[in-house]
Structure 1
């Protein structure tokens, strides 16, 4: 099983763990300040998938028309393409990036940035916005989506992840985290006030 398959399994395995409140949050999935992070550890790899509202990253969700907006998006995509700056893993894990793809999705404008991609790129060029915007005719929502794969010498050493994400993106307030490894799956939360994930 690949880490990509494991990330999909993460979402499926954690469905029974979600409470009614979590279900309601999913119905109102686009909440400023709140993002989603999936983490899967398998063998010597750790895969991370981040989905967050555009507001959390750049402070707006409208289409980038001004040069300042375009520059903010470009800077955000560059920052998100450096996962070891956004997510700090223990040095003992000895991880390096094998894949990093960051994209912005909204109704009118998609942009991606790939800094370290070493795998199959076609999967990301065909990615479509999976959000139904029919109910939001007057509101435009954009989301940043990033996928990472890290190869590590010692994944057992990954017991905590420090999230530089919150200091890099000041509008980000919370991350709802789904974590899966060989021992099972769990739901976690991280916030700007508590920017550390204790995995084990």
Structure 2
């Protein structure tokens, strides 16, 4: 339990360091925090609303409401978005999507995914289809903390695989 707590503290620290260095809400760019601790894999995603639906305000009509709802459904489908290498034996435990409250200037969609992995030492790659689902996204900034390493990497439509 202590190690899980330390892993989450590390993610919070990494996120705060990025923020302190001017990391801002950037259209076309998502952020992903990945943590592996023992048999647990956590993915925390932040997407500017513009990436997901093409606007960054409260929906004005039924078509925009439907677009926002469709984006939420895509993000809820972890099996569509994330492919973990099969040898790790990871099973999805939960997927949560938080749509924006539209109470400020920039709006984001936050999503989190939790997996339980039978063979966490075999966890080598996570591939995402986010770029196929959200054509307005051109990069995903990833921070990861694993069993033996940590770091940061940029995923793109041509390189959608996190490897370590």
Q: Shared fold (TM-score greater than 0.5)?
A: yes
- Mean Cα deviation higher: 46-55 or 152-161: 152-161
Structure 1: 5+ residue stretches without partners:
109-132, 134-139
1:98 aligns with 2:80: no
Contact in 1 for aligned 2:90/2:117 (Cα 8 Å): yes
1:191 aligns with 2:156: yes
1:66 aligns with 2:54: no
Equivalents in 1 of 2:98, 2:116: separation in Å?
A: 22
> What is the CA distance between 1:106 and its match in structure 2?
3.9
> What is the CA distance between 1:172 and its match in structure 2?
1.0
Contact in 2 for aligned 1:95/1:151 (Cα 8 Å): yes
Secondary structure of 2:127 counterpart: strand
Q: Which residue of 1 aligns with 2:21?
A: 23
1:55 aligns with 2:20: no
Q: Which residue of 2 aligns with 1:162?
A: 127
> What root-mean-square deviation, in Å, do the aligned CA atoms of Structure 1 and Structure 2 show?
2.3
Q: Which residue of 1 aligns with 2:72?
A: 77
Equivalents in 1 of 2:5, 2:56: separation in Å?
A: 28
Q: Which residue of 1 aligns with 2:8?
A: 7
1:181 aligns with 2:146: yes
Contact in 2 for aligned 1:3/1:46 (Cα 8 Å): no
Moved over 4 A (4+): 2-5, 13-16
Residues 71 and 8 of structure 1, relative CA distance in 2, 3 Å threshold? farther
Equivalents in 1 of 2:117, 2:62: separation in Å?
A: 39
Aligned pairs, number: 163
Equivalents in 2 of 1:78, 1:187: separation in Å?
A: 28
